[in-house]
Structure 1
Amino acid sequence: MDENLIELIKREDFQGLELLIEEYGSSIMKTISSVLSYPYEKSSIDDVMNETLYQIFTKIHSYNPEKSSLQTWLLVVARNRSIDEKRKLFRQRNTTVNDDEEGGGEEARVLEKESFLELIDRLSEEDQKIFLYCYFYQFSAKEIAEILNLSEEKIYNRLSRGRKKLKEMSRGGTKNEWI
């Protein structure tokens, strides 16, 4: 399915974009909404969604299936576009509002999510999905097992092995509270 979707988009066939929205639209929207989570940012969500879809449509040639799953690549594109918008809104807001309302902790939380997505990009496609569902969308192991047609035990095992692998990869870097 992903190969067909990618090929349609590469040919600039809007049916590919429709398939993309049908298959991944809610995940992309959740990613954007999780980054643009403050009340003053909510009005930008639809614009960022449209900009993200346009960016995906025009930059699909840069997707490399050997580096990550399509879903992870799409969410990284959405996250990056959302962070750009968040920074723009934050700068605009700081020119008109005192810093003491929400302050600098906001950007640190966004950067934690960004480093999480970069880390899981190194996992297998199935493990990427498990980690996204568990740590990004906060689904329970039971819900993930139902979505992926796996046992709960297998989900727990994959999470445990994945956390160990990510800790090994992130040694020497900053502590990541997602893991």
Structure 2
Amino acid sequence: MTPTEHLSDALVKVASHRDRAAFAVLFEYFAPKIKRFGIKQFNNEASAMELVQDTMTSVWRKAHLYHPSKGAATTWVYTVMRNASFDALRKIRSNREDTLSEDIWPMVQVEDEEVVFTDHLESQLLQEHLDKLPLAQQEVVKGVYFQDLSQEQLAKQLGVPVGTVKSRLRLALSKLRNHMGAEHD
């Protein structure tokens, strides 16, 4: 039996009998290759190991979708790996976009320490919901979005870590979004 046939046979055994020994054969063969690809792709060993885990978990769960007549086991597993890699890259990109949110949120002018709401922010609804937030979350929302302070400046002003400002802001925005509904995003 050729190595290609051996891998194909192992994948079929995983699909049909949930054969752990056959899965071990697949893991032993593919894990180092997937890890090398992940390190090259993500430049990070932890992310590479996560790719190995995601790929091999999918191989175990989706083995029944493999058909030897349609292609080699290596091609099928590498397709699963590629899809897991794309998912990981989308997740990374999405997380980066979340951290950029404070940079792209429009700032509003403040006059004499009174918050000036403009456009849809003038609504009484926003002020009512803002007043329902805990004081610490109110301070962060007003500081970041209405006083034109960076999260770092606000953290220094409040005497708390930047991570605390970020957490309070994330919680406050989530609560406002839930209370006001999507039409006010």
Q: TM-score range by the shorter chain?
A: 0.3 to 0.5
Q: Which has the higher helix share?
A: 2
State the TM-score, normalized to the length of structure 1: 0.47
Point out the structure with max Rg over C-alpha: 2
